[in-house]
């Protein structure tokens, strides 16, 4: 019976789906350190994680039997994707399943900060009746600046316009503007005209420290700032300075440079004593609807890879979409992208008198992937010859 390990309190629908497909499943609530993860992966075929568990090259080297990793979240920067590809470990994520949840949190943050709800709530909790319109604004007619116009940024753009906001955006890639949104030619152009600035960039290394003192200094007086993307993107000390001096009127932060590994652990942040501040524990995508969608989506990708060899929506391997096997067995052969691999595979099968029922080949960068349905189940000699082809990374027989 194949085994799956799910960490970080992944929605139980994922475990149930894997069990229904014949997997033995172990679920743990928290994240694991590198050494803990290596120990826990003994005998494990599929691994499911969220954002706190890091899968390093050492982990992959120590556990060569690991076949696939499911990131039950948007980002995959917690996995060494190149090292996984070199070892034939497929990695999948859920790039769209919690988009709406993040967008709704950002909309909520914008409205609450514009109305100074955190500050008023703090005063009421401490027995102070402060019925005042000072510093409180409608969002209608205000300008929202969106940094990063991908799945989340573009959907936020649509909802913000429905609230009556003017939307501008900046992205390093060419993006089609939705509705009446306007593209800015530079980040400074966006910052200087936005009443609210929200960041939605990915986890690539070049985004570390992306938004700091210089960027905050370009923002409008009394603007608000929101980060629901990645914790390492923003310099929180710089944000605090611009809040303390009265330059910015409020901020919302959902992600932090260093986050606890599990719920209930303590966290310290220099922003805790700010007046008009919303601090949330990385819950942008944490709605029941989003977690159910993610559980279903990623578990389906893992099951399709295990039982069919399908790499559809893999983030690190050539993508091949496969249906049910059209023969007696399916041979999934991951290899270095070298000339003649396909010919070598077919030569081995021809020498063994094995007829090919269907075949698909995909290449991406340094990796190639050929999937062959055969009319007869290959004998051990044929499988050994296939695994011995120069450049072979991993070979699986799927019956």
Task: Sort residue 117 into left (φ over 0), alpha (ψ -120 to 50) or beta.
Answer: alpha
Asked if residue 92 lies in contact with residue 298, where contact means CB atoms within 8 angstroms, the answer is yes
Q: Is 259 a catalytic residue?
A: yes
- Residues 50, 63, 86, 230: which is the catalytic one? 230
Q: How far apart are CA 251 and CA 271, in angstroms?
A: 9
Give me the phi and psi of 207, to 5 degrees please: -90, 0
Q: Is 399 a catalytic residue?
A: no
- What separation, in Å, do the N-terminal and C-terminal C-alpha atoms of the chain show? 14
Among residues 398, 332, 330, which one has the least CA distance to residue 369? 332
Asked if residue 257 lies in contact with residue 282, where contact means CB atoms within 8 angstroms, the answer is no
Q: How far apart are CA 398 and CA 311, in angstroms?
A: 14
Beta-strand runs (E) in 115-208: 143-147, 166-170, 182-183, 196-199
Can you name the residues that pair with 128 across neighbouring β-strands?
Answer: none
- Residues 259, 292, 328, 364: which is the catalytic one? 259
Q: Is 204 a catalytic residue?
A: no
Q: Is 21 exposed, middle or buried (0-12, 13-18, 19+ CB in 10 A)?
A: middle
Supply angle C-alpha 330, 63, 393, rounded to 5.
45
- Residues 86, 115, 282, 330: which is the catalytic one? 282
Catalytic residues: 230, 259, 282
């Amino acid at each position: 019976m194949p085994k799956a390990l799910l960490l970080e309190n992944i929605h139980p629908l994922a475990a149930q789906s894997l069990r229904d497909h014949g997997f033995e499943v172990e679920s743990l609530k928290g994240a694991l350190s590198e050494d803990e993860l290596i120990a826990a992966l003994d005998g494990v075929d599929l691994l499911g994680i969220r954002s706190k568990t890091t899968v390093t090259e050492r982990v992959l080297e120590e556990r060569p039997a690991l076949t696939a990793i499911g990131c039950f979240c948007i980002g995959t920067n917690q996995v060494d994707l190149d090292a996984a590809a070199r070892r034939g470990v497929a990695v999948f994520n859920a790039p769209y399943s919690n988009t709406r949840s993040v967008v709704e949190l950002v909309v909520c943050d914008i409205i609450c900060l514009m109305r100074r709800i955190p500050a008023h709530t703090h005063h009421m909790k401490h027995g102070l009746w402060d019925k005042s319109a000072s510093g409180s604004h409608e969002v209608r007619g205000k300008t929202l600046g969106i940094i990063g116009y991908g799945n989340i940024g573009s959907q936020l753009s649509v909802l913000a316009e429905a609230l009556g906001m003017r939307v501008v955006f900046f992205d390093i890639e060419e993006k089609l503007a939705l509705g009446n949104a306007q593209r800015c030619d530079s980040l400074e152009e966006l910052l200087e005209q936005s009443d609210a600035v929200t960041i939605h960039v990915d986890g690539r290394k070049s985004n570390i420290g992306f938004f700091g003192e210089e960027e905050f200094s370009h923002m409008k007086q009394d603007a608000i700032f929101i980060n629901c993307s990645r914790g390492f993107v923003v310099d929180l000390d710089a944000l605090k300075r611009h809040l303390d001096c009265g330059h910015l009127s409020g901020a919302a932060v959902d992600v932090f440079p260093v986050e606890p590994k599990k719920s209930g652990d303590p966290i310290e942040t220099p922003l805790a004593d700010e007046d008009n501040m919303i601090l949330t524990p990385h819950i942008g995508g944490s709605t029941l609807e989003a977690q159910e969608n993610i559980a279903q989506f990623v578990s389906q990708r893992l099951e399709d890879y295990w039982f069919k060899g399908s790499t559809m929506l893999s983030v690190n391997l050539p993508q091949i979409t496969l249906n049910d096997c059209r023969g007696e067995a399916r041979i999934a052969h991951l290899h270095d992208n070298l000339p003649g691999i396909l010919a070598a595979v077919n030569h081995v099968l021809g020498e063994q008198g094995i007829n090919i029922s269907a075949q698909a080949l995909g290449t991406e960068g340094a990796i190639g992937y050929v999937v062959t349905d055969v009319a007869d189940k290959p004998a051990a000699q044929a499988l050994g010859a296939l695994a011995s082809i120069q450049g072979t990374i991993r070979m699986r027989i799927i019956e």
